[in-house]
Amino acid sequence: MPQRVLTTESGAPVADNQNSATAGVGGPILLQDQHLLEKLARFNRERIPERVVHARGSGAYGYFEVTDDVTGFTSADFLSEVGKKTETFLRFSTVADNLGGADAVRDPRGFALKFYTEEGNYDLVGNNTPVFFIKDPIKFPDFIHSQKRDPFTGKQEPDNVWDFWAHAPEATHQITWLMGDRGIPASYRHMNGYGSHTYQWTNAKGEAFFVKYHFKTNQGIRSLSAEQGAELAGKDPNSHQTDLLQAIERGVNPSWTLYVQVMPAAEAADYRFNPFDLTKVWPHKDYPLQRVGRLVLDRNPDNVFAEVEQAAFSPNNFVPGIGPSPDKMLQGRLFAYADAHRYRLGVNHTQLAVNAPKATEANNYGRDGLMASNSQGRGAKNYEPNSYEGPVETGQPLAAPLAVNGHTGTHEAPAHTKDDDFFQAGELYRLMSEDEKKRLVANIAGGLSQVTRDDVIEKNLAHFHAADADYGKRVEEAVRALRED
Ligand code: HEM
């Protein structure tokens, strides 16, 4: 291939890319040096705002293949036939640190999956944990402020982290999970992914089911101890990125098996705890895992900025047969993500290659805005209804309607007969081996003992006591021992 010529952004040939133009030898630079001005100006604009959470991440393309018939539960076309394959893009992430943070840290991991289906893109934006810290979206900004860098000290503060948790007894389950053995995954390949929320599936007959998604890693779960994590985070801050990139480049394609738990919609109201409470799991003995298919990652993006940094997922992107549940956290997220994308990437972020539908096309009357590149075809009308064969509505809601009752108001999520914030944290603790309990207690005490106020420590200890007497006693003793040191 003949050597290509270097050009300006408008395509004109560049004469000199080593020396800027000056007024005479040794003189000041000329304003007419278009190549220099353009080069410096573009460089200044290379960064966009990082994600406010989950800033640091890695992504890869792949496919989802249906292995089991789930048409009794959902009419979603991409799940309609055993053997059907759908292209996907998955972005993994850590949550709390900024873009330049390290991978091997104790933090939940994001597991954001885009299915490029023939009925539009379906985004399932989950984590590697089946539960979360809070159950109302109104607390999310406060929660995240308390976990990220303090505006005065510029670093994460144990005082803030634990002060928030002192006021959030519902976080005890997720804290127990995070401080336990799975809290620092060895890599993105060696962890599970969960939809975490309860979603709604609707079948062709219009029958509704509530579902929870579980992606089980086929690489096996591997985690790091606190010491191993600290060492690796220092040695190779990009350890997760390196691992994922190299595995796929070597053709060792990671995969996950998708299972769902399925609850017929009529059972939700009388279930012994609120099935839409994101701080709780559904016991498998009540709702066993049913296999759906296999997710495989087999292609690295060509450009990390274009495809990973600009990837935009929204829990509000559903396809026919799948919809939201009344989980308040999920409802808050239905707004938050596309709003973040409009701020960070602009109103036309859905036209970027990684975000645009691949197996169908977007046809609507949305127009213009910053960086619009989609003309929707010559002469296409930009209003609806019209007499020119523009796209028309289907009259078919994507999912079944959700039942509602009562009055508007700032209500707490409804409590069911067995609802409390601690029993599942206690169950998780009691499931652990003696060694795992020791590591869990040491991890919690390591953080909690750094808190400067006794009342904040006491409030947190009360949560562990409420989960399990032995759990509370051991954390209390460990914190006291560390504070006496
Ligand atoms: C009300 C609660 C929540 C709010 C308001 C919220 C909001 C956000 C926002 C604004 C972003 C940045 C989006 C972007 O700039 O691209 C984000 C990213 C993310 N969130 Fe949440 N979030 C919430 C809860 C959750 C929960 C419960 C999960 C998991 C179950 C989750 C998983 C993620 C993931 C995986 C990402 C990164 C997506 C990507 O890779 O681009 N979030 N969240």
Q: Where are the beta strands (DSSP E) in 147-224?
A: 193-194, 199-202, 208-217
Q: Indicate if ligand 1 lies below 6 Å from the C-beta of 329.
A: yes
Please check whether residues 125 and 216 belong to one and the same domain.
yes
Q: How far apart are CA 451 and CA 480, in angstroms?
A: 12
The whole-number pLDDT of residue 411 equals 93
The whole-number pLDDT of residue 195 equals 98
Please check whether residues 322 and 450 belong to one and the same domain.
no
Cβ-proximal residues to 169 (8 Å cutoff; 6+ apart), any chain: 421, 422, 463, 466
Among 351, 383, 402, residue at a domain's last position? 351
Residue 126 belongs to what domain range?
57-133+184-351
Q: How far apart are CA 334 and CA 321, in angstroms?
A: 17
* Count of CB atoms situated within 10 Å of the CB of 460: 27
The whole-number pLDDT of residue 304 equals 98
Please check whether residues 346 and 458 belong to one and the same domain.
no
The whole-number pLDDT of residue 149 equals 96
Average pLDDT over residues 108-120: 98
The whole-number pLDDT of residue 95 equals 98
> Cis omega before residue 385 (within 30°)?
yes
Residue 36 lies in a domain: no
Average pLDDT over residues 423-436: 98
Residue 438 lies in a domain: yes
Backbone angles phi, psi at 379, to 5 degrees: 80, 0
Q: Indicate if ligand 1 lies below 6 Å from the C-beta of 301.
A: no
Q: Which residue has the tokens 């017929």?
A: 264
Backbone angles phi, psi at 274, to 5 degrees: -65, 115
CA angle 189, 50, 37 (to 5 degrees): 125
Residue 155 lies in a domain: no
Catalytic residues: 54, 127
The whole-number pLDDT of residue 330 equals 98
Please check whether residues 303 and 451 belong to one and the same domain.
no
Residue 46 lies in a domain: no
Average pLDDT over residues 321-337: 98
Nearest atom within ligand 1 for CA of residue 329: 1
Percentage of the residues of the chain whose pLDDT score is greater than 90: 96
Q: What is the pLDDT of residues 136-175, one digit of tens each?
A: 999 999 999 999 999 999 999 999 999 999 999 999 999 9
Burial (CB count within 10 angstroms: exposed 0-12, middle 13-18, buried 19+), residue 87: middle
Q: How far apart are CA 420 and CA 274, in angstroms?
A: 10
Please check whether residues 343 and 428 belong to one and the same domain.
no
The whole-number pLDDT of residue 377 equals 86
Q: Indicate if ligand 1 lies below 6 Å from the C-beta of 457.
A: no
Q: What is the pLDDT of residues 392-420, one digit of tens each?
A: 999 999 999 998 989 999 998 888 888 89
Q: Please determine, for residue 376, whether its predicted confidence score (pLDDT) is greater than 90.
A: no
Residue 40 lies in a domain: no
Please check whether residues 332 and 448 belong to one and the same domain.
no
* Residue of 131, 305, 337 to mutate, ligand 1, most atoms within 8 A of C-beta: 337
Please check whether residues 337 and 436 belong to one and the same domain.
no
Residue 295 lies in a domain: yes
Cβ-proximal residues to 14 (8 Å cutoff; 6+ apart), any chain: 5, 6, 7, 8, 35
The whole-number pLDDT of residue 323 equals 98
Residue 383 lies in a domain: no
Please check whether residues 101 and 203 belong to one and the same domain.
yes
Work out how many domains the chain is built from and give that number.
2
Q: What is the pLDDT of residues 338-373, one digit of tens each?
A: 999 999 999 999 999 999 999 999 999 999 999 999
Q: Please determine, for residue 229, whether its predicted confidence score (pLDDT) is greater than 90.
A: yes
CATH of the domain at 82: 2.40.180.10
Among 303, 325, 351, residue at a domain's last position? 351
Q: Indicate if ligand 1 lies below 6 Å from the C-beta of 340.
A: yes
CA of 125 to the centre of ligand 1 (A): 7
Q: Which residue has the tokens 């046809």?
A: 363
Q: What is the pLDDT of residues 285-308, one digit of tens each?
A: 999 999 999 999 999 999 999 999
DSSP output for 26-70: T-PBPTT-HHHHHHHHHHHT---PPPSSS-SEEEEEEEEEE-S--
Residue 418 lies in a domain: no
Please check whether residues 189 and 333 belong to one and the same domain.
yes
Per-residue pLDDT band at 67 (split at 50, 70, 90): very high
Q: How far apart are CA 382 and CA 390, in angstroms?
A: 9
CA of 140 to the centre of ligand 1 (A): 10
Q: What is the pLDDT of residues 117-136, one digit of tens each?
A: 999 999 999 999 999 999 99
Among 296, 331, 351, residue at a domain's last position? 351
**Across the strands, what pairs with 73?**
none
Please check whether residues 338 and 460 belong to one and the same domain.
no
DSSP 218: T
Please check whether residues 340 and 204 belong to one and the same domain.
yes
The whole-number pLDDT of residue 7 equals 97
Go through the chain and tell me how many residues it has.
485
Tally the C-alpha atoms within 13 A of residue 116's C-alpha that lie toward its C-beta: 19
Residue nearest to atom 3 of ligand 1 (CA): 333
Please check whether residues 434 and 307 belong to one and the same domain.
no
CA of 127 to the centre of ligand 1 (A): 9
Q: Please determine, for residue 423, whether its predicted confidence score (pLDDT) is greater than 90.
A: yes
Contact yes or no for 207/236 (Cβ under 8 A):
no
The whole-number pLDDT of residue 107 equals 98
Per-residue pLDDT band at 485 (split at 50, 70, 90): confident
Residue nearest to atom 26 of ligand 1 (CA): 126
Helix, strand, coil abundance in the chain, percent, nearest 5: 30, 15, 50
Average pLDDT over residues 450-479: 98
